[in-house]
Amino acid sequence: AQSVTQLDSQVPVFEEAPVELRCNYSSSVSVYLFWYVQYPNQGLQLLLKYLSGSTLVKGINGFEAEFNKSQTSFHLRKPSVHISDTAEYFCAVSSGGSNYKLTFGKGTLLTVNP
Amino acid sequence: EPEVTQTPSHQVTQMGQEVILRCVPISNHLYFYWYRQILGQKVEFLVSFYNNEISEKSEIFDDQFSVERPDGSNFTLKIRSTKLEDSAMYFCASSGGTLNTGELFFGEGSRLTVL
């Protein structure tokens, strides 16, 4: 079985500060890793994904994440956040195969303050 | 850009009533999913559907729930007799087009409120 742990339920930061949202996963097989963002009262939008290849993945809105197999982590980073980045961020894992079912973490609420 | 669409966006119902949530997945996708998000909690997997049958379901997906793909475009989630604890946002997703990257494409969600 797969699981995802997002240790931080809330992360408040000031505008233009850097941010890191932590994600750790557990799986007995190779994984695909994803970060989704949910703005207030909206659906889930893909930020970035790791399928294979380079462990540093760049996504939309200036976000990036690094896959670290030895630490089973996929932390999300942005060097300088904007007020508009305020949202809930979900890390998710899939084992691929024939189903591509995603298992989500509990989410991290990023609040960017002026 | 193709997208997953869901209706209704919000439904209020009385406990014990039947509810049908509708989804139109992206047209060339082959895998369909329903997820649930209770307010303030994480997104939970309910069921996946492939080749006109359920491929996997969670323990949440009990006999009160059913899914159907009645025609070539719609994918529905039915809750036969709603309970208060069914109040949640329900997300439909699809994946598996001609270039399957494992990404799930989500709809905007249907908010179900059970009174």
Contact residues of B toward A, CB < 8 A: 31, 33, 35, 41-45, 48, 50, 55-56, 91, 95-96, 100-109
CA A27 centroid distance within chain: 17
Residue B11 clears pLDDT 80, i.e. is over it:
yes
**Most A-contacting residue of B7, B24, B42, B92 (CB-CB within 10 A), to test interface:** B42
Query: At which residue do the structure tokens 């970035």 appear?
Result: A48
State pLDDT tens for residues A89-114.
999 998 766 567 889 999 999 999 99
State pLDDT tens for residues A19-75.
999 999 988 777 889 999 999 878 889 999 998 888 999 999 999 999 999 999 999
Burial class (CB in 10 A: 0-12, 13-18, 19+), B1: exposed
**In angstroms, what separates the C-alpha of A24 from chain B's closest C-alpha?**
15
Per-position b or e across B75-114, b if 16+ CB within 10 A of its CB:
bebebeebeeebbbbbbbbbbbbeeeebbbbbbbbbbbeb
Q: Average pLDDT for residues B14-37, to the nearest whole number?
A: 94
A83 in B contact zone (CB under 8 Å): no
Show the tokens assigned to A14: 């000031």
CA A67 centroid distance within chain: 11
Mode of pairing for the β-strands spanning A10-14 and A108-113: parallel
Residue B90 clears pLDDT 90, i.e. is over it:
yes
